[in-house]
Amino acid sequence: MKVLDAKIFVDDDNKVKISKTCDIHGDYIDTYTFSDPELYDWAEKYKQPGAPINNPRTDVKDGCPYDCGICPNHKSHTVLSIIDITNRCNLTCPVCFANAATAGYIYEPTKEQIEKIIKNLRSNNPTPPPAIQFSGGEPTIRQDLPDLVKLAKENGFRHIEVNTNGVVVAKDLNFFKKLIDAGMSTLYLQFDGLDDSIYEKTRGLPLLETKMKVIDNARKLVFDSIVLVVTLVRGINDQQVGKIVNFALENSEIIRCVNVQPVSITGRIDSKAREAMRINTSDFMELIQEQTEDQIKKDDFFPVPSVIPFARTVGKMKSKEYALFSTSPWCGVGTFMVKANKKWVPITRFAKVDQFFKTMDNIYHDLQEGHKIRAKIRSFAALRHVKGSFIKDVLWPVMKTGSYNELGKFMRNVVMIGCMHFMDPYNFDLQRLEKCVIHYGLPDGTIRPFCSVNTLHRQKVEKQYSVPYQTQKKTS
């Protein structure tokens, strides 16, 4: 876990790779998170400057990633915050990195500790995070989870997610309802495919019936915000991408998003076995184009920071500070599917997205320089890049008010398709890490980027607040 110089290059097979040399362990080469050189270069065009916080919690002493907390060198503020409320789980998934049986200890912050974490996250200045996810382990194991959701709501989080395998909310409709009544915005549902043989490999037992029951229960409770979260593993479920997307579109009254996460590889593994499992963002883009028969194409996607010109400009117009997704452009991609004339089509069919964002960027700079009339003229000019029906029915209400409610209505008219490739020790890139916007809140008062926690910091921090696994098993 030493920091090493690395080189990103294109190999003889025309794949983007990252290489590094350790003076003890020798040379390492791994596939980068964008392996297609053309897509790698395309993504780079969407780089945006970060928006750091004014009140970092740690000093710069040992350098990135050892000073995480957030340190003054971190370049982006928190957009989505995560709190692991337990590492206990009702499954023993082979692909999991955060469960008690694997770790050997029980990590479960108290309600009081979680309240302190929530308040610490919301004290980020000048832009408190708008969204929080309760995760684990399996957070629904905790009977006080509805109270924690309510606590987050009371402390100003507008969007509250619960990350779950679905076992509890499939069986217990009343508990599902309690979460909704407490203020849960989204159920972040682990969903690896539509075939039980996949779950037997990724989760250790058949779970498809459980997933379907969660969706049925959501319908019964008139809850319309489920995200399907796919851990993508080559040779296991990579042929399911198109089927999962179609399933989401067929159930769009319940499902808001498909979020694909290529597997992060932790622990010791030889290079051949690692490469056999390795799948990345550009692979995902190829797969979805192939498996949807060009209904969704590679060029329908945009890197995460591409949306910044729109968010920043609307914020300037409304004199508000909106959270900015200023990640590295190689962290992830997304697109929106919109239903038009009973057919689902990508948002790119309604707009020349690049030109629209470029004009929005120009409007922002006009407003920055005090040219309000020029900005207003450009605002009308920006609309020529978007079809009239889409402006009237979908885009204008968001631009007009800039409100979170209108953004929510927009999200309920579309289904988002995204891919976020989290890093592991083999493909780790500190230039990506320092732009991370997904941060864990921890009981030691630190706020740390997702990939550094799961690669470097998790055990050290959690062990300070844990009891041995066997001790807890005997007393529980």
pLDDT in tens, 363-420: 888 888 888 888 888 877 777 787 766 666 666 666 666 665 666 666 667 899 999 9
Answer with the residue of higher pLDDT: 310 or 112: 112
Q: Could you report the per-residue pLDDT of 108-132, keeping only the tens digit for each? A: 999 999 999 999 999 999 999 999 9
How far is the C-alpha of 53 from the C-alpha of 326, rounded, in Å? 12
Please check the confidence at residue 14 and state whether its pLDDT lies above 90: yes
CB 107 within 8 A of CB 142: no
355 falls in which pLDDT band (50, 70, 90)?
confident
Please check the confidence at residue 162 and state whether its pLDDT lies above 90: yes
The pTM (predicted TM-score) of the whole model is 0.91
Helix, strand, coil proportions of the chain in percent (round to 5)?
A: 40, 20, 40
287 falls in which pLDDT band (50, 70, 90)?
very high
CATH of 6-351+386-470, one of 2.40.70.10, 3.40.605.10, 3.40.190.10, 3.20.20.70: 3.20.20.70
| Residues in CB range of 411: below 8 A, 6 or more apart | 256
Answer with the residue of higher pLDDT: 364 or 188: 188
| Residues in CB range of 253: below 8 A, 6 or more apart | 219, 224
What pLDDT shows up at residue 388?
Answer: 66
Percent of the chain with pLDDT over 70: 92
Nearest to 330 by CA among 420, 455, 235: 420
Answer with the residue of higher pLDDT: 318 or 194: 194
Q: Could you report the per-residue pLDDT of 428-462, keeping only the tens digit for each? A: 999 999 999 999 999 999 999 999 999 999 989 99
DSSP 351: B
Q: Where are the domains of the chain?
A: 6-351+386-470
475 falls in which pLDDT band (50, 70, 90)?
very low
CB 110 within 8 A of CB 465: no
Query: Alpha carbon of 131 to those of 186, 253, 371: distances in Å?
Result: 10, 22, 33
What pLDDT shows up at residue 400?
Answer: 66
Q: What are phi and psi of 227, to 5 degrees?
A: -105, 125
Q: Is 263 helix (H, G, I), strand (E, B) or coil?
A: coil
- What DSSP assignment string belongs to 179-200? HHHHT--EEEEE---S-HHHHH
Tokens representing 143? 């009977």
